[in-house]
């Protein structure tokens, strides 16, 4: 085993946890979560087993897009605290063995950013070329705005100068022009600044829009991927083990390009959107075939790269890579009401209410997540089974107050808090950290167990995947092998118990069972049952 030889690849077996400071814990009782509150809950994350904390944007912002409309890439939103508060939170995390990565949102700025304010003053402004301007929108088919319910075009006329500026997202978020070397240099300075304050990398927002704002227009970069290659090279010069975790929701073949092709050298990790979407299709059908196909369709990755696996993230649960009929199947199963859907392509729900609170099925899904080859990423509140607030609408539906106690525990302010609250069956009275901490059978303690087993199973971060043949369409059985160790995951996506005949060439150990004795075959699975089976070898005994 060569774990010590690959210490720089800490992310291969990391457990990542995404949170929004604004919704996590309000320490000064002003109704907004803050960095001081985050620092107070680092021990909770360490107890859970988190090894990498991903912070959503905490930068100064008009807050018209949940903090992704930024006015200062070097700043801290004063509502959340100061640079000192952030450094204290990072230091506390490091003391507990937790790394911190932050959002790098450099595909656009707020229209209130000083750069854009200066750029729109005059065509002669030194910041004019930091954005993309045209006299008339290009002829022909235009790209669709990311938020088609809010914008009808990616071009907006600026009355003062009579030119149009490009914005793939909202009109109040003008796209930066990375074909300008000055912009690329500034992005490198931003990266260097936060590395110096102790972060271990960046979750890079909307990478395809970041590297290629002009598409095939005149002036576009001959090779847009140079932007990511140069950024990765700069990152690694400053910090050899820092990472770029990219949001790249494109087909697998194109995702491979964003890793840097067969040679690597671009993004370190990417979210596996395709497997996530097919997981939901498999759950809707209670048939493992879509999930198995997605995993076998993954292209081989270059050394030093990894997939990020997830059940839920901070945006809408996009289903855009499914066919229209497949997407409708998932809508019918998990979001039949129109208010649960968004942009015609996704859901604004969390998993527990989608599964109607079925505890067996919920645990099966998270067991499955942690056995998929890759680095698991949790969204805050998943570990206790939080629900959503559909009345908040769009992506705000899942960005609700963290539920610490039966009374909420987010803030002592009576009303007027920044984040919405989950009410009803999945609200804090029924779902909260305090109650689950003391309940050995709670979802929180189950997720802690999964994280512990994942962390002691390096096969899941380093190994090779094999889908195992068995006769039940509702069962997903797979094996992940690394060196002379292997782990088998068996999951029943259906409500009926099944017996799964598996050909096991070694005795196996049940990692989720109460004992450590051999497991008989066929493997028995109850309704939505799951097993983690380690092949019993000299190396595996060191890992138990």
pLDDT digits (tens, 9 = 90+) for 65-104: 999 999 999 999 999 999 999 999 999 999 999 999 999 9
pLDDT tens digits for 347-376?
999 999 999 999 999 999 999 999 999 999
pTM: 0.96
Strands 341-342 and 346-347: what pairing? antiparallel
pLDDT tens digits for 200-247?
999 999 999 988 766 656 667 888 999 999 999 999 999 999 999 999
Annotated catalytic sites, by residue? 205, 247
In angstroms, the first-to-last Cα distance of the chain is 14
What is the b/e burial string over 377-390, where b = at least 16 CB atoms within 10 angstroms of the residue's CB? bbbbbbbbbbbbbb
The whole-number pLDDT of residue 89 equals 98
Which residue ranges does the chain devote to CATH 3.90.400.10? 114-166
Which CATH fold topology does 114-166 show?
Answer: Oligo-1,6-glucosidase; domain 2 (3.90.400)
* DSSP-assigned letters across all residues of 197-239: TT--EEEETTHHHHH-TTTTSTT--SSTTHHHHHHHHHHHHH-
pLDDT tens digits for 91-101?
999 999 999 99
The whole-number pLDDT of residue 418 equals 87
Whether 443 has a pLDDT exceeding 50, the answer reads: yes
Which residue ranges does the chain devote to CATH 2.60.40.1180? 461-543
The whole-number pLDDT of residue 3 equals 36
Long-range contacts for 75-81 (Cβ within 8 Å, ≥24 apart)? 76/35, 79/22, 79/30, 79/32, 79/34, 79/418, 80/21, 80/22, 80/32, 80/33, 80/34, 80/35, 81/34, 81/35, 81/36
- 66 CB neighbour count, 10 Å cutoff: 18
* DSSP-assigned letters across all residues of 394-442: GGGGG-PPP--BTTB-S-S--S--SS----GGGSTTTS-HHHHHT-TTS
What average pLDDT score do residues 129-150 get? 89
CATH of 461-543, one of 2.60.40.1180, 3.40.50.2300, 3.30.1280.10, 3.40.30.10: 2.60.40.1180
């Amino acid at each position: 085993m060569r774990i010590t030889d690959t210490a720089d690849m800490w992310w291969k077996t990391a457990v990542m946890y995404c949170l929004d400071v604004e919704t996590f814990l309000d320490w000064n009782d002003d109704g907004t979560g803050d960095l001081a509150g985050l620092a107070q809950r680092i021990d909770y994350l360490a107890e859970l087993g988190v090894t990498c904390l991903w912070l959503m944007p905490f930068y100064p912002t008009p807050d018209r897009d949940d903090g992704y409309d930024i006015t200062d890439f070097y700043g801290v939103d004063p509502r959340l605290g100061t640079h000192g508060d952030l450094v204290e939170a990072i230091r506390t995390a490091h003391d507990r063995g937790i790394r911190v990565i932050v959002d790098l949102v450099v595909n656009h700025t707020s229209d209130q950013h000083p750069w854009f304010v200066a750029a729109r003053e005059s065509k002669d402004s030194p910041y004019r070329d930091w954005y993309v301007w045209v006299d008339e929108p290009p002829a022909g088919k235009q790209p669709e705005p990311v938020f088609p319910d809010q914008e009808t075009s990616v071009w907006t006329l600026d009355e003062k100068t009579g030119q149009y500026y490009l914005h793939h997202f909202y009109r109040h978020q003008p796209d930066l022009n990375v074909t300008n070397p000055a912009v690329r240099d500034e992005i490198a300075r931003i990266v260097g600044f936060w590395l110096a304050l102790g972060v271990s990398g960046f979750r890079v927002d909307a990478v395809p829009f970041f590297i290629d704002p002009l598409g095939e227009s005149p002036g576009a970069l001959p090779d847009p991927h140079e932007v990511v290659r140069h950024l990765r090279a700069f990152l690694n010069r400053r910090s050899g083990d820092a990472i770029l975790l990219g949001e790249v929701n494109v087909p697998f073949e194109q995702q491979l390009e964003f890793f840097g092709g067969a040679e690597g050298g671009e993004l370190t990790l990417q979210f596996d959107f395709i497997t996530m979407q097919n997981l939901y299709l498999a759950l809707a059908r209670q048939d493992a075939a879509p999930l198995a196909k997605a995993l076998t369709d993954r292209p081989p990755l270059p050394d030093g790269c990894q997939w990020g696996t997830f059940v839920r993230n901070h945006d809408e649960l996009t289903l855009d890579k499914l066919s229209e009929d497949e997407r409708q199947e998932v809508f019918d199963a998990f979001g039949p009401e129109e208010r649960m859907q968004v942009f015609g392509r996704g859901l604004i729900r969390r998993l527990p209410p989608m599964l109607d609170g079925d505890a067996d099925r919920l645990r099966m899904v998270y067991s499955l997540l942690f056995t998929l080859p890759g680095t698991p990423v949790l969204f805050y509140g998943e570990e206790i089974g939080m629900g959503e607030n559909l009345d908040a609408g769009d992506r705000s539906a899942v960005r609700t107050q963290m539920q610490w106690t039966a009374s909420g525990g987010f803030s002592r302010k009576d009303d007027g808090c920044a984040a919405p609250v989950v009410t009803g069956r999945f609200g804090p009275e029924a779902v909260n950290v305090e109650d689950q901490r003391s309940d050995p059978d709670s979802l929180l303690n189950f997720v802690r167990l999964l994280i512990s087993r994942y962390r002691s199973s390096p096969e899941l971060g380093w190994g090779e995947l094999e889908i195992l043949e068995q006769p039940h369409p509702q069962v997903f059985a797979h094996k992940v092998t690394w060196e002379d160790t292997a782990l088998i995951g068996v999951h029943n996506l259906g409500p009926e118990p099944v017996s799964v005949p598996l050909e096991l060439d070694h005795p196996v150990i049940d990692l989720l069972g109460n004992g450590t004795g051999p497991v008989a075959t066929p493997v028995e699975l109850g309704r939505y049952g799951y097993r983690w089976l380690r092949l019993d070898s000299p190396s595996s005994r060191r890992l138990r």
